Structures are given as structure tokens and as C-alpha cells.
Amino acid sequence: MFKKSDSLPETKEILDKNRFKLIRKIAEGGMGSVYEAIQYGSDGFEKIVAIKTIQENISKDAEFVEMFIGEAKLVANLVHQYIVQIYQLGKVDNMYYIAMEYIDGVNLQEFVQRHHEMNVKLDMDLAIYVISRVCRALEYAHNKTDKYGNLLGVVHRDISPKNVMINTEGFVKLTDFGIAKAAHIMNNQEGDILMGKAPYMSPEQAQFMQTDRRSDIFSLGIVMFELLTHQPLFGGERTGVILDNVVYKDIPPPRSINPEIPENIEKIMVKALQKSLDKRYQDAGQMAYDLEYFMYHDRFGPTYVTVEQQMRKLFPEFYRDATFRV
């Protein structure tokens, strides 16, 4: 056994081949697909993982491939309980893939949709708890440094209900850093290319301006607004209309739409949704603290157990048979 200060007498390498069996397709989009897979190791070792691939026709697009590789490099060292972990970047023939943590569960959009389908009201405390966990994920990512202590400057740039996962154990996980930016890891194309989902963009993002951690906070504020008011914040059928709304539309007081929202929570949302950068939360940790203070300062608030209990009610199929999936 080596101590931390010890060094190997000579350079050592482990050369091995990875083997994955794709079980089922979880999701598919215009750029790629995500599969549930089994990773095989020696002596009967097996691990369930997710495999993210690029569509074959897209694999010839150097810019997209670079972005795909950049995601893997960026997230590889983001090791946090509320962030989906990246295990490996690989290449088979001309196809790149990312092996990542498999989330046995649903995304936040599916979670909310199931409430509507079952005519069940979304518990406000539970919604606030989910947002607070994403805050902590962002706090970690935004403050991540390289091995020399230099701030990476990570900005997710795609915070939306589809990129917030909830697993069957009640844990919240932020995923899909595919268009994130970070110093010295991803090319900075802000000002040239608009990336992200229009209804969840910050005003600066919608105007092709430089973004920082405060942009993610605004996007998360939009998600929170929709969870608690049950209405989209920035409507519009065309992307151009939505972007104009993001930049110019006044933010309605959340309690004017849903009076059940506590005043303290409205203040948090309003601060997160300030179009002026200076008036907005300056970091996600501040927002997380305010949400946690509301939930726990005078009572025993929600935890991951609360989320799991709700998941069991909404998605019993996940718990009846571990091999069954909708």
C-alpha cells in the first residue's frame, strides 16, 4: 500500500478494453441518443450506466464533436451528489460516446406532467426543495477550480426542467452540460451562436451577451416560477417572440398568479429573476441558503425521503419490478 506522498518506482499504465451492452434507448434527439447499458468488467463485474452517443451523420460535424468532447472533459471532474457523474469518453470507429451515471427515474418535466395526468397537486415545499438542490449543484459547478486553484468559470447555460433529474431514491441530479462553457475547456462562441432553450434563457443570454453564473440563476428562477405558478413565464409560439419577452417583458409578481406562494418565497423568486445583473442573486449558494432557511428554520422541512415518497405515488411502476420501465 502506498502513502499519498509515495510515488511508484516507475511509470505504470493499465491498458484495458471497455465493454458495454446497450439494453434500451432512453431518449433520442436530433443530435444523439442516450441508452441504458451494462458495463462489464472482469470476474463477472457489472454496472448499470448510461451511454450518450452522437448520431452518425452528426459525427462528421467537427464543431458538434468538439462540443461533445468538451462536455465530457468539463463534467469529468464535477463530482457532486447533485450532478450526474461522467465516467468516460470513448470512441468506437467514428462514433464518440460518453459513459455516465445512470439515473433510474424521470426528469422534472415528466415529474410535473405526471402530477397533471393524475390530477395531483404539486406540493409547494417539495418543489422548493428540488430547486434548492439544483442551487447547490450550481454553487459547486460555478465555484469549481482547476488543479492550480484557478476558477474554471463554469456556466451551465441550459437550466430547464428536462435537465433536472429525480431518481427513484428521491435524489435530484443536474445533467446535460452539453452547451456549458468554462475557461480553457470549451470554446467561447457567445456573441456568435445562440445556445440553450429560449423559454429558459436569461436576458443577457437571449441577447448574445457574455454570461456568467448569474445567468444560470435567472434560468433556475424561471423553472421555479413555473413550478409554483403552474404557468410558463415567457410565452410565445415563435422563438423570436419568446426572446423578446425574455429581454423586455415585465416579470409578474408570482403571488398575483398563485396567492398560496409564501411572501418569502416570492421575494426569492423576484430576486432570482431580476433582469439587472447587479440586483440578481450573485451566486447560487445565496439562493440555496434563503430557500433552506425557509424550509428548515422553524420546522422539519422536506428531504430526499419526501421526494422518494412522492415518486412512489406517482411512478409505482418503477418500484414494482426493477426491470420494468415505461
Q: Which CATH number goes with the domain that contains 175?
A: 1.10.510.10
Are 255 and 141 members of one domain? yes
Q: Is 205 exposed, middle or buried (0-12, 13-18, 19+ CB in 10 A)?
A: buried
pLDDT above 60 (res 325): no
Phi, psi (rounded to 5 degrees) for 278: -70, -25
- 238 plus 161 within the same structural domain: yes
Domain identity same for 187 and 79:
no
Q: 57: number of CA atoms within 13 Å, CB side?
A: 3
pLDDT at 326 (0 to 100): 41
The answer to whether residue 3 is domain-embedded is no
What does the pLDDT look like over 137-179, one tens digit per residue? 999 999 999 888 988 889 999 999 999 999 999 999 999 887 7
Q: pLDDT tens digits, residue range 185-241? A: 555 555 556 778 999 999 999 998 889 999 999 999 999 999 999 999 998 778 889
Q: Would 325 be classed as within a structural domain? A: no
pLDDT at 20 over 60: yes
Q: Answer yes or no: is 10 within a domain.
A: no
- In-domain check, residue 317: no
Residues 197 and 78 placed together within one structural domain of the fold:
no
C-alpha span between 98 and 81 (Å, rounded): 19
Which one of 101, 130, 150 terminates a domain? 101
C-alpha cell at 136: 447547490
Residue 89 sits in the same domain as residue 152: no
Residue 7 within any structural domain of the chain: no
Beta bridge partners of 267: none
The answer on 242 and 230 residing in a single domain is yes
pLDDT > 70: percent of the chain: 91
Q: Which of 101, 119, 139 is a domain's end point?
A: 101
Number of domain units in the chain: 2
What average pLDDT does the chain have? 89
Structural domain range at position 126: 105-311
Pairing of strands 172-174, 164-167: antiparallel
In whole angstroms, what is the distance from residue 111 CA to residue 175 CA?
Answer: 15
Catalytic positions, written as ranges: 158
Name the grid cell of 194.
Answer: 445562440
8: confidence class by pLDDT, cuts 50, 70, 90: low
Q: What is the DSSP letter of 297?
A: S
pTM over 0.85: yes
Q: What is the pLDDT of residue 112?
A: 98
Let me know whether 248 and 150 are in one domain. Answer: yes
Mean pLDDT of the region 300-317: 96
193: left (phi over 0), alpha (psi -120 to 50) or beta: beta
Please state, in angstroms and rounded to a whole number, the distance separating the CA atoms of residues 83 and 165.
9
